[in-house]
Chain A
């Protein structure tokens, strides 16, 4: 008799992942229902693939194949390894909030925060039967993206931060995601709500403790900026070289807010950062910048959707990708200008630098405009380093690699300028320098 080996489909694998995790996931009743609904949504469509327009260049069925089982809650040994990993972080002088393998680790986090900041664990809120709206944290109308639905279904923990009206924080809030296990999924969802007139800097780091391999990070962060608030948002993706990082930011900007975001991707084999920024009040401004430094067979995707729903808002996007060896950079930017959003001024510039013949860069800058009194523009370039510039530097005695490094630094520098906090800007620059140094 022949015994046929039946390979489970990706959807079946995901179902198993969800079924196995269900009892462990925080929140019963309405929370469990919200998870179920989100998971059903995901199960119907499965991992996004190239036929799904928004995921055209990042086919997760090929790149991820399947969703890995949730990581076990960290034990003492795992926390110890996480602690060692934290010591390598460049960002200092921030309020540290650490999530190890998708679970908040109080022993590694700063417990006393500045006045005006409140912090909760997502798991605690989801478990709080007295909180009638707790399930809303897992629902979001801002996007129908399928990976956000998966995140809602699986989210094990996260931090829920609040900044009081007019509070001006002196230190950044730093959420650190540490992976200590291999071949496991980390699912986290965090929140930050800025009160009127407040100011804050949020830093997110993604790192691996020694030895953690091929894990998957499924993260989402939901940000609200109240009237007149200033929010700086820095992301540093330094995951293990064979890990995957699928992250989403859902941002809502109130009247007169200033939002400055910067994303630096240098780690992870497969990464996707999708930001959905919605202008909810007039006279708001957003700077959304990013740099990807890629080599080997890395695949990094930056997908941004800026929704100008109200008049008199401005936005500016600057992206740079340096793509070496057989790496693949993807940039998709969409600016939506709704019918009432008159006087919108939106700009987007994306540039990719290809350092090798095997490198690939795909750019898709989109404009979707329904209002007439607007100024919108985008630019996209792809190319190699300018030979004449290289020649100029080499003629002045610089070795080839050094000349290249100098030009690459200048290339990415433009996008890093938007980082307001000097020490954080230095961290970004140092990361780029290390990357270049490794290039030799």
Chain B
């Protein structure tokens, strides 16, 4: 059978089986009543034992949200969301405050074990001495709306790094949170960010003090479990002068027929000479082979290179979600600051991806780099949407953008919508984009040398995304590579 027909055949056979994280954890949970109202916002705030200003902040956002309309410019198509038919708060039921990990519901621990997320600092506890220089990862696990465990707290504390659920940070470091929260993504930013501001229940808070290089990778693992719940997490990361932090984020959800809503906000702030590296492996449930179910992923991620010589780097591997609406951006405010965006977006089945980045050059001699790889298979639609702009005073701004798309099968679509705006003659912007399918010549070359058709396609796809995979921290690169092959299983191999 010719390769193309074979591919089409396989795409047809794609099944939900490929989604390996689709199980559900049976655990009692405590939910706020369905729907959204001021009372729900008050309920969430009270549950979290928040200070009064925080409640007001949420209420302001809620009131503003009521006046806003859902954006419809993205190339995604979904039935109207009934925002009153969603649970805005769900937490694993617990009798009392937890003293240690041992008191966490074993079902939850099992869930994370199944997902391959180490919540217990097993080796550390058993006194295993690790080879010098090997990297460890501190994990904050968020289950539905709340953080269930954060590892390596003590060791991080020793280095002066604050890494805790944002709900704890609101109690323990209210001034720090208040100083930075909403300064990158204001409550009025956009429909989904405003909704998040009103109802966010948890997320991670990271503060790295001046001159500190965070001793280990920080990681958050998000899991939506409960039916009909929305997950609204909020992440706030601050790297003070000269600090460095690398942060990883992973997400999964059970398979369900109905759609689940996820509207997160991530704010990064890099002061003078600081660097933040933010990596995401997004693998929310993408829906089944008929396009039923799946997570609606509406995320606002933005980094502010506030200080001189600061750097923010986004790396994302997007394989999940029925709908992805996500544009991790960098505001290059400080002189000589640098923004980077590396992305692999893979869509299969009926997935719709509309993702990209914004690089806004405000400071002098700011540089940015965008490498985006889109792979569309099955009946999916994959769009890159990006903005690069240089303002009047951004002398010496420099950008390089390359976005490549690969089409597998003739029922999918790949689109590129870049906006390049230069208001400064010393700005130098370069943009290139290509779309193609895997060349028959290349496949023939590989097959002729003894590779199977599947292996050959795998090889080409791997080469296609290599630039981006190289940017991922080791721990994630392996997972990402596996994910890519799983996501494309049935379409290429």
Contact = CB atoms under 8 A, between A and B. Distances in A.
Given A364-B418, A372-B409, A378-B416, A383 B427 contact: yes
A53 B428 contact: no
B432 A378 contact: yes
Contact of A381 (B419, B426, B429, B437): B429
Contact of A369 (B415, B426, B427, B429): B415
Given A362-B419, A382-B420, A357 B392 contact: yes
B415 A384 contact: no
A383 B425 CA distance: 6
B405 interface: yes
A365 B429 CA distance: 13
B419 A364 contact: yes
Contact of B429 (A360, A370, A383): A383
A404 B437 CA distance: 41
B194 to A, nearest CB: 19
Contact of A380 (B407, B409, B415, B420): B420
B434 interface: yes
Interface string B337-361: 0000000000000000000000000
Interface in A227-248: none
A382 B433 contact: no
Given A53-B73, A362-B419, A362-B420, A372 B437 contact: yes
Contacts of B418: 363-366, 380
A211 interface: no
Contacts of A53: 73
Of the four ranges (under 10, 10 to 19, 20 to 34, 35 or more), the interface on chain B belongs to 35 or more
Nearest to B412: A372
Contact of A370 (B413, B421, B428, B433): B413
Contacts of A375: 434-436
A85 interface: no
A397 to B, nearest CB: 25
A366 B416 CA distance: 5
B431 interface: yes
Interface string A314-358: 000000000000000000000000010010000000001011111
A367 B73 CA distance: 16
Interface in B394-432: 395, 405, 407-432
Interface string B23-64: 000000000000000000000000000000000000000000
Contacts of A339: 410-411
A374 interface: yes
Given A53-B73, A377-B432, A354 B422 contact: yes
Interface residues of A, number: 35
Contacts of B430: 379-381
Nearest to A340: B410
A369 B428 contact: no
A384 B435 contact: no
A400 interface: no
A373 B433 contact: no
A365 B431 contact: yes
B415 A376 contact: no
Contacts of B416: 365-367, 378
B379 to A, nearest CB: 11
A302 to B, nearest CB: 14
Interface string B82-119: 00000000000000000000000000000000000000
Contacts of B73: 53
A375 B406 CA distance: 10
17 contacts: A53-B73, A339-B410, A359-B425, A363-B420, A366-B416, A367-B415, A369-B405, A369-B413, A372-B437, A374-B435, A377-B433, A379-B430, A380-B418, A381-B428, A383-B427, A383-B428, A384-B428
Interface of B: 73, 392, 395, 405, 407-437
Given A361-B421, A369-B414, 11 more contacts: A365-B418, A369-B413, A374-B407, A374-B436, A374-B437, A375-B436, A376-B436, A378-B431, A379-B431, A380-B431, A383-B425
